[in-house]
Amino acid sequence: MIEKIQSIIDTLKSTTFFESKLNFFEVHAVKADEERVFLDGKVLEKENLELLKEKIAAEFPALEILSENVTVLRTPETPVLNVCKNITSMHAEKSFQSELTTQLFFSDEVEVLIDEGDWVIGRNVLDGYISYTYRKYLDKLALPEFTHIVSEPVVPVYDAPENGRLITRVLGGTKTGIMDTSGEMVRIRANIDGWIPKDFLRAFDELPEEKHALRALVCENAKKLIGVPYLWGGNTANGIDCSGLVQYAYRLAGITTLRDAHMQYIAEQIVEPEFLPGDVVLYGEQRKDRMSVTHASISLGGWTVIHSSRTRNGVYIDNVQETEHLKASFSAAIRYL
pLDDT in tens, 16-36: 999 999 999 999 999 888 899
CB 233 within 8 A of CB 244: yes
CB 211 within 8 A of CB 337: yes
Would you state the pLDDT for residue 219? 98
Would you state the pLDDT for residue 187? 98
Residue 54 has pLDDT above 70, yes or no: yes
pLDDT in tens, 155-193: 999 999 999 999 999 999 999 999 999 999 999 999 999
- Between 291 and 245, the more confident residue is 245
> Where does the pLDDT of residue 71 fall: very low under 50, low under 70, confident under 90, or very high at 90 and above?
very high
According to DSSP, the β-strands at 64-72 and 36-43 are: parallel
Would you state the pLDDT for residue 234? 98
Contacts of 277 (CB under 8 A, 6+ apart): 215, 216, 218, 219, 299, 300, 301
Angle CA 121–43–251, to nearest 5: 55
Would you state the pLDDT for residue 289? 67
pLDDT in tens, 99-125: 999 999 999 999 999 999 999 999 999
Would you state the pLDDT for residue 287? 73
Average of per-residue pLDDT across 274-293: 88
Q: Which domains does the chain have, with CATH numbers?
A: 2-72 (3.30.300.130), 80-139 (2.30.30.40), 148-205 (2.30.30.40), 207-334 (3.90.1720.10)
Q: How far is CA 173 from CA 92, 132, 237, 249, in A?
A: 23, 21, 10, 9
Per DSSP, the residues of 91-114 read ESSSSTTSPEEEEEETT-EEEEEE
CB 162 within 8 A of CB 195: no
3-state class (DSSP) for residue 209: coil
pLDDT in tens, 287-312: 766 678 999 999 999 999 999 999 99
CB 197 within 8 A of CB 209: no
Burial readout 120-145 (b: 16 or more C-beta within 10 A, e: otherwise): bbbbbebbbbbbbbbbebbeeeeeee
Contacts of 213 (CB under 8 A, 6+ apart): none
How remote is the C-alpha of 147 from its chain's centroid? 21
Q: How far is CA 10 from CA 18, 229, 234, 299, in A?
A: 10, 40, 32, 39
Which letter does DSSP use for residue 86 in this model? S
Would you state the pLDDT for residue 44? 98
What share of the chain in percent tops pLDDT 90? Answer: 95
pTM score: 0.95
> Where does the pLDDT of residue 45 fall: very low under 50, low under 70, confident under 90, or very high at 90 and above?
very high
